[in-house]
Amino acid sequence: MTSKILVYDGDCPMCEAASALLVRAGLLPEERRRPFQSFEGEMADRLLAAGMQNEMAVIDPSGKIRTGIPGILGLLRETRAGWVARLLDRPWLHPVLTAGYHLVAYNRRTIAPPRRGPAFACACDPEYRPRWLLALIILLLAFAVGMTTLFGAVVAAETGLASPIQGAIRMLFAAGSGWVLLVLAALALQRETRLPFLGHLGMVMAGGLLVLVPSMLLAPLLDGRWMAGVFLLSVTASFLLMLRSLRRRLVYLELSPVWLAGWAAALWAGASVSIWWFYF
């Protein structure tokens, strides 16, 4: 069992969950897991100077602080998961691991907004790195396009309303047109808000699409009304989840609830027009 202390951002739900997972897995005693917000004075200053603002930190018994991938691997080396640390601790792997870690760490307020409500200033808020945020948005967009076309292909194949390729294209138009309208509207936001808003929008979209996965897996096992019912239920659940997620994120960004109504209107208008165009 490690004698080091893992320091995480206590205002980050994802950091809280990840560090708690180490405790539940028996790799880290609860008393060795501490939020940055519990430190004061010299140690808080040392943690910030070491890079705690952007990465988790690990304090060893001598007081030395290491952050990011080196710190985490050093922590794991003293646990029964030490073999994982030794496997990953390769010079050629470090840039890949660090890039993946930074993609998450710099965007953690976008991936998992704090539960405190309106935007707030925390001592360990990550630095704003537009390139990392843009990289996240591109990945989310690629995921959304892939999942949407796959869902359209499955629905078309199971209902016989179109070929899988036609279904994929039609679903992409039906679902994507509403999002495009909202993205165009987002251009009216202030520059410092525009990219973060698009990042949150991407997370809402990705989360909603994940809800459709069970229906796609069940599709080959169902037929007739059951299949149509499952698809309809999945789309409804996806919409409601996205609605809830966007509402919470708008509160965090301190944006008007009008954006929520605009999102719903754009989504349904885009889908309705596309469905009418293709089928009527």
Per-residue pLDDT of 118-168, as tens digits, reads 444 566 789 999 999 999 999 999 999 999 999 888 888 877 777 888 888
Q: Where are the domains of the chain?
A: 5-111, 130-279
Render pLDDT for 256-266 as a digit per residue (tens, 0 to 9).
Answer: 888 888 888 88
The confidence band for 81, taking pLDDT boundaries of 50, 70 and 90, is confident
pLDDT greater than 80 at residue 178: no
Q: Where residue 280 falls among pLDDT bands split at 50, 70, 90?
A: low
Burial class (CB in 10 A: 0-12, 13-18, 19+), 121: exposed
Percent of the chain residues topping a pLDDT of 70 = 91
Coil, strand or helix: which one is 10? Answer: coil
Query: Residue 187: pLDDT band by 50, 70, 90 thresholds?
Result: confident
Q: With contact defined as beta carbons under 8 Å apart, do 234 and 212 qualify? A: yes
1 has pLDDT over 60: no
Per-residue pLDDT, 200:
94
Mean pLDDT lowest for which of 34-38, 66-70, 92-96, 167-171? 167-171
pLDDT at 279: 56
Separation CA 258–CA 208 (nearest Å): 20
Distance CA 255, CA 249 (A): 9
Instruction: Round to whole Å and give the CA distance between 208 and 144.
Output: 9
Q: What's the average model confidence in pLDDT over 93-120?
A: 85
Q: Lowest mean pLDDT: which of 32-36, 70-74, 186-190, 208-212?
A: 186-190
Structure tokens at 170: 């039609």
Hey, which residues does 7 pair with through a beta bridge? 34, 57
Residue with tokens 């202030």: 190
Pull the structure tokens for residue 151: 């869902």
- Look at residue 2 in the predicted model and tell me its pLDDT: 64
- Cα-based angle 135, 140, 145 (whole degrees, multiple of 5): 130
Identify the burial level of 91 via C-beta atoms within 10 angstroms of its C-beta, where 0-12 means exposed, 13-18 middle and 19 or more buried: exposed
175-178: long-range contacts, CB 8 A cutoff, minimum separation 24: 175/148, 175/267, 175/270, 175/271, 176/145, 176/148, 176/270, 177/270, 177/271, 177/273, 177/274, 178/263, 178/266, 178/267, 178/268, 178/269, 178/270, 178/271
Whole-number average pLDDT of the chain: 86
Separation CA 230–CA 232 (nearest Å): 5
Q: How confident is the model over 265-270, as a mean pLDDT?
A: 78
pLDDT tens digits along 19-58: 999 999 888 888 889 999 888 889 999 999 999 999 999 9
Could you give the count of Cα atoms lying within 13 Å of 155 in the half-sphere of its Cβ?
22
* Number of neighbours of residue 22 by Cβ within 10 angstroms: 22
Q: In Å, what is the CA distance from 280 to each residue of 172, 232, 272?
A: 18, 20, 11
The stretch 187-202 carries a mean pLDDT of 89
Q: pLDDT of 213-253, one tens digit each?
A: 888 888 777 766 677 778 888 888 998 999 999 999 999 88
Residue 115: is its pLDDT beyond 80?
A: no
